[in-house]
Amino acid sequence: MNILIKSAKIVSPENSALHLKKRDVFIKKGIIEKIAASIDDIPSGTKIIEHKNLHASIGWLDTSVSFGEPGHEERETIQNGLQVAAKSGFTNVVLNPTTTPVPDTSSDIVFLIERAKGNGTQLHPLGSLSKNSKGVDLAELFDMHNAGAVGFYDFKSQITNPNLLKIALLYAQSFDGLICSFPEDIQIKGKGVVNEGEMSTSLGLKGIPGLAEELQISRDLFILEYTGGKLHIPTISTANSVKLIAAAKRKGLDVSCSVAIHNLLITDDTLSDFDTSFKVSPPLRTKQDAKALIKGLKDGTIDFVTTDHTPLDIEEKRLEFDNAHAGTIGLESAFGSLNPVFGLEETVGLLTKGWERFNIEKPKIETGSPACFTLFEPYEEWYFTEKDIKSTSRNSMFLDAPQKGRVIGTISNNTLTL
């Protein structure tokens, strides 16, 4: 397939020759063949992409996405999930080990990669850190790494045994593996379902104190300092967590962290109606926490954002708040939610971070390179509604939220998705 991107403003801060310049880009069979101010001599049958206020950047990466297949196909299949990601601007996603059974062997990783082939969005699976994600015995980390796993994670589960984390960090150094540890102490959390504070008290809901997150992070950082290795702490949510990670980075520890978009933009004030769409893990925190998280992103303490896209069936959400499952979808609303807060260039910067941490090759906008573009229009103001949801599941906390900017599509893997 031949494609001509016509008069697109390129957003590429690392490439000063192209950054914020309008260019035509000709793509032949998935490879960038020419970049110029104007390209008119093109083969017949070329697909021309033109759009008012058309912008283009390298493809976006989401480092925490869940689907359902195998085991929970009613939530989201791999095929549909990757289509949702592509239409939302993401050319690459890191897939959480949330399936049944969890991927804890090399054959499980191979299955996921094979199921994802032929799509515009590339899937990069995380393997389970422990067998069956039970937190008892290490899974086959080295074999999964060789099969294509980009890291190891017991999704949303505390590593209760500190020795397991110690062994994992030591062992993974032999192949430069990335260990992920969810920041939550389940004994401190107890039966909590929302942030502990004024809102939990007024609603009569059991609270999860920030201490549950911060205590786990403190423990994990002490172990990392002892062992060395590479540790990633996904989806932090409190101001004190930002301080702990900043201090660890100043010590030179090899630690990274992410934050979910909803924890940046939405606070526990929204819980007054007991709407289970707003039940997530970690929980929505306070305005002070959200401000600290945004500051942490801006100063580089927090390494990247994620949608933490978690599709759930309606039966898992239409329950009493205590019993409903935690999670929200977020791929479709990511760009339009971030853009009004951070602005065009910073938003694109946030959505294109994380490649090196997960050992994924970062795309380039230069002739001879594989075409990997996200196409978008950054100025249109609109509201996110049910019709904008492309996921099989509908559990979005961003319904009726104002958005600025729309994704037009992606070009990746010699595939155009509009």
Q: Which two tokens stand for residue 53?
A: 């206020």
Q: Give the number of residues written for the chain.
A: 418
For residue 380, the model assigns a pLDDT of 97
For residue 269, the model assigns a pLDDT of 95
Give the C-alpha separation, 274 to 262, whole Å: 17
Strands (E), 42-155: 47-49, 55-58, 60-65, 90-95, 122-125
- Cβ-based neighbours of 51, under 8 Å, separated by 6 or more: 375, 377, 408
In 3D space, the residue among 383, 373, 381 whose CA is nearest the CA of residue 351 turns out to be 373
DSSP letter for 27, please. Answer: E
For residue 78, the model assigns a pLDDT of 98
C-alpha dist (Å) from residue 49 to 26, 400, 416:
10, 30, 10
Strands (E), 303-396: 304-306, 373-383
308 tagged catalytic: yes
Give the C-alpha separation, 396 to 64, whole Å: 16
For residue 1, the model assigns a pLDDT of 87
Pairing type for strands 304-306 and 47-49 reads unpaired
pTM of the model: 0.97
DSSP letter for 386, please. Answer: G
Give the C-alpha separation, 215 to 395, whole Å: 30
DSSP letter for 12, please. Answer: -
For residue 136, the one-letter residue type is: V
Burial (CB count <10 Å: 0-12, 13-18, 19+), residue 340:
middle
CB atoms within 10 A of CB 400: 9
Give me the residue spans of the domains in the chain.
77-351
CB atoms within 10 A of CB 69: 19
> Of 185, 308, 313, 322, which one is the catalytic site residue?
308
For the four alpha carbons of 126, 131, 133 and 135, in that order, the dihedral sign comes to negative
> What is the mean pLDDT for each group of 10 consecutive residues in the chain (418 residues)?
96 94 97 96 94 97 97 97 98 97 98 97 98 97 98 97 98 98 97 97 97 98 98 98 98 98 97 95 98 97 98 95 97 98 97 97 97 98 97 97 98 97
CB atoms within 10 A of CB 291: 13
Q: Which two tokens stand for residue 135?
A: 């937190």
Asked whether the bond before 125 is cis by omega within 30 degrees of 0, the reply is no
Q: Is it true that domain 77-351 has CATH number 3.40.50.920?
A: no
Confirm if 34 and 79 have CB atoms less than 8 A apart: no
For residue 321, the model assigns a pLDDT of 96
Q: Which two tokens stand for residue 180?
A: 């992920």
